[in-house]
Structure 1
Amino acid sequence: MRILLIEDEEPAAAQLRRFVHQYQPTATIVAECQQVSEAAAYLRQHPAPDLILSDIELLDGNVFALFGQISVTSPVIFITAYDTFLVQAFEQNGIAYVLKPVQYAQFAAALQKYERLRQSFQGAALRQLVAQVAPAPRYKTRLVSKSRAGLYLLEVAELAYFQLRNGVTHAIDGQGRAFILNETLSQLEALLDPAQFFRLNRTELVQLSAIERLEPYFNDTLVVHLKAPVTTLTSSSHRTPELRKWLLG
């Protein structure tokens, strides 16, 4: 069994390594990734693993963004501390959903489910079936903001960026108006088209069409100048390389 491990916390990764080899000593962890960008790069350059074990909240955002960037044909066991992503997990190749803290019995049950599926569909046939039944990504074109004045329907195409302010997510349109959202930035990453939206840092997500120009800053960060509203955002240094690639399509 060839396994790709996607986990950004070393204690959790170490536990999963132990559980994998306890369950099947001959299993091979072909790679370990801590970020969505790393996982995407690995899957683009290597054959699909038999199975993916994946956390959901990673260093550079939500793992569901991975499914919008590349075609993932391997079945996935999601291992997370959050119980709010169950529907999305099973829409994106998920065959099991294990909550942290992980107990070996839960982990073994998930692997046994994978084994049963593999025996039924035999390797490549399983991957082909998953690819066929996995729905094409459908991204949000409209969001809802609730306020005392009522509900505002926000067209995603008219929003310039999203920003976390005092722990609350705000959507800012081209006129500079801010609307409060219930979704977190990580949830928005999974809901919005990754070809059009990019997570600049822990608190900001920007739309491509809103960007006017970029300016080098310090420590490999970039200042992002927006057309409307006229304002600037700043990329974090570890996101800058991926930002450059994103801008080039």
Structure 2
Amino acid sequence: MRLLLLEDEEPALDLLRRFALTYYPAATIVGEFQQVAEAAHFLSTHPAPDLILTDIELLDGNVFRLFQQVAVSSPIIFVTAYDQYLVQAFEQNGIGYVLKPVQYAPFAAALQKYDRLRQALQGAAWQQLAAALPSTPRYKQRLLSKSRQGLYLVDVAEVASIQLRHGVAHALDRTGRAYPLSETLAQLEACLDPHAFFRLNRGEIIALTAIERLEPYFNDALAVYLRGLPDAPLVSSSHRTPALRKWLTG
């Protein structure tokens, strides 16, 4: 399950993420954006997510501007404080409309509706759609890093982790050298093989082959130690721990 979250308020985004991962523990959040422009760029350069969860009013305007800029094929659940957009929402791939303040029960009911619709599409129509899509997704093999010294190509196979530092994503290789990247963590997560990389928390992505060991941590989180890197361990978000355990076992 690949989810795209559009919300411009951090507390609301945190709640949306938590509710979504409670209902779909193994889901991958391919992007989290606060602006229509960011969402439009993502949707025009990446495969369509399975489901979009979005507020109506974002930082740079009304989300309905998004549908004027790009063709959106994903089903959408609107999570908003505004009730006057109900008709317009269902004209734009809307399958659910959850009003703020968001409670888990109506939110889960909207996701149940999505599950029912998806199951109804299974069979011949679903198989025809699947056959029309590329069978093997293409993930990034190299990352481009730009610094004062010039441009560097970083082999994804050599990346141990990707960490947010002072608001900028950095790829760390197996020696601990950091390379600044222009993409956001959400954009990087979407273009890396999900079997090889995992979003540990809001600021860190780890590579499976770089993990040396894991230890229990406070509040059901896990401390992750990376092979050959002496820094303090990286710590999973507690709400990501079930998905992390499942990812580790394949």
TM bucket normalised to smaller: 0.5 to 0.7
Match of 2:184 in 1: 184
Q: Aligned ranges for residues 59-78 of structure 1 at < 5 Å?
A: 62-63=29-30
Judged with a 3 Å threshold, the aligned counterparts in structure 2 of structure 1 residues 240 and 40 are, in CA distance, closer, same or farther, namely closer
Per-residue CA deviation, residues 145-181 of structure 1 (Å, 9 max, x unaligned), is 1112211000001010000111111111111111100
State the one-letter code of the partner of 1:86.
L
Compute the TM-score of the two structures, normalised by the length of structure 1.
Answer: 0.61
Judged with a 3 Å threshold, the aligned counterparts in structure 2 of structure 1 residues 234 and 6 are, in CA distance, closer, same or farther, namely closer
Judged with a 3 Å threshold, the aligned counterparts in structure 2 of structure 1 residues 161 and 89 are, in CA distance, closer, same or farther, namely closer
2:55 pairs with 1:83: no
Judged with a 3 Å threshold, the aligned counterparts in structure 2 of structure 1 residues 36 and 183 are, in CA distance, closer, same or farther, namely farther
Per-residue CA deviation, residues 77-110 of structure 1 (Å, 9 max, x unaligned), is xxx8422222355555762688998955653443
Match of 1:35 in 2: 20
Distance 1:176 1:228 in 2: 8
Q: Determine if contact 1:92/1:134 at 8 Å carries over to the other structure.
A: no
Match of 2:241 in 1: 240
Deviation at 1:187?
A: 1.0
SS of residue in 2 equivalent to 1:143:
strand
Deviation at 1:211?
A: 0.5
State the one-letter code of the partner of 2:247.
W
Distance 1:229 1:198 in 2: 18
Distance 1:152 1:179 in 2: 8
State the one-letter code of the partner of 1:62.
I
SS of residue in 2 equivalent to 1:110:
coil
Q: Aligned ranges for residues 204-219 of structure 1 at < 5 Å?
A: 204-219=204-219
Match of 1:48 in 2: none
Q: Determine if contact 1:171/1:181 at 8 Å carries over to the other structure.
A: yes
Identical residues among aligned pairs (%): 48
Q: Determine if contact 1:163/1:171 at 8 Å carries over to the other structure.
A: yes
Q: Determine if contact 1:91/1:134 at 8 Å carries over to the other structure.
A: no
Per-residue CA deviation, residues 1-37 of structure 1 (Å, 9 max, x unaligned), is xxxx98797xxxxxxxxxxxxxxxxxxxxxxx94357
Moved more, 90-99 or 122-131: 90-99
2:73 pairs with 1:95: yes
Compute the TM-score of the two structures, normalised by the length of structure 2.
Answer: 0.61
SS of residue in 2 equivalent to 1:188:
helix
The alignment of Structure 1 onto Structure 2 pairs a total of residues equal to 181
SS of residue in 1 equivalent to 2:245:
helix
Distance 2:46 2:24 in 1: 17
Structure 2's unaligned 5+ residue stretches are 8-17, 51-71, 95-119
2:107 pairs with 1:107: no
SS of residue in 2 equivalent to 1:138:
coil
Distance 2:48 2:6 in 1: 23
Structure 1's unaligned 5+ residue stretches are 10-32, 42-59, 65-79, 113-121
SS of residue in 2 equivalent to 1:213:
strand
State the one-letter code of the partner of 1:129.
Q
Q: Determine if contact 2:73/2:93 at 8 Å carries over to the other structure.
A: no
SS of residue in 2 equivalent to 1:84:
helix
Q: Aligned ranges for residues 46-65 of structure 1 at < 5 Å?
A: 62-63=29-30
RMSD of aligned Cα (Å):
3.5
SS of residue in 2 equivalent to 1:228:
coil
SS of residue in 2 equivalent to 1:153:
strand
SS of residue in 1 equivalent to 2:172:
strand
Distance 2:181 2:5 in 1: 28
Moved more, 151-160 or 127-136: 127-136
Judged with a 3 Å threshold, the aligned counterparts in structure 2 of structure 1 residues 8 and 220 are, in CA distance, closer, same or farther, namely farther
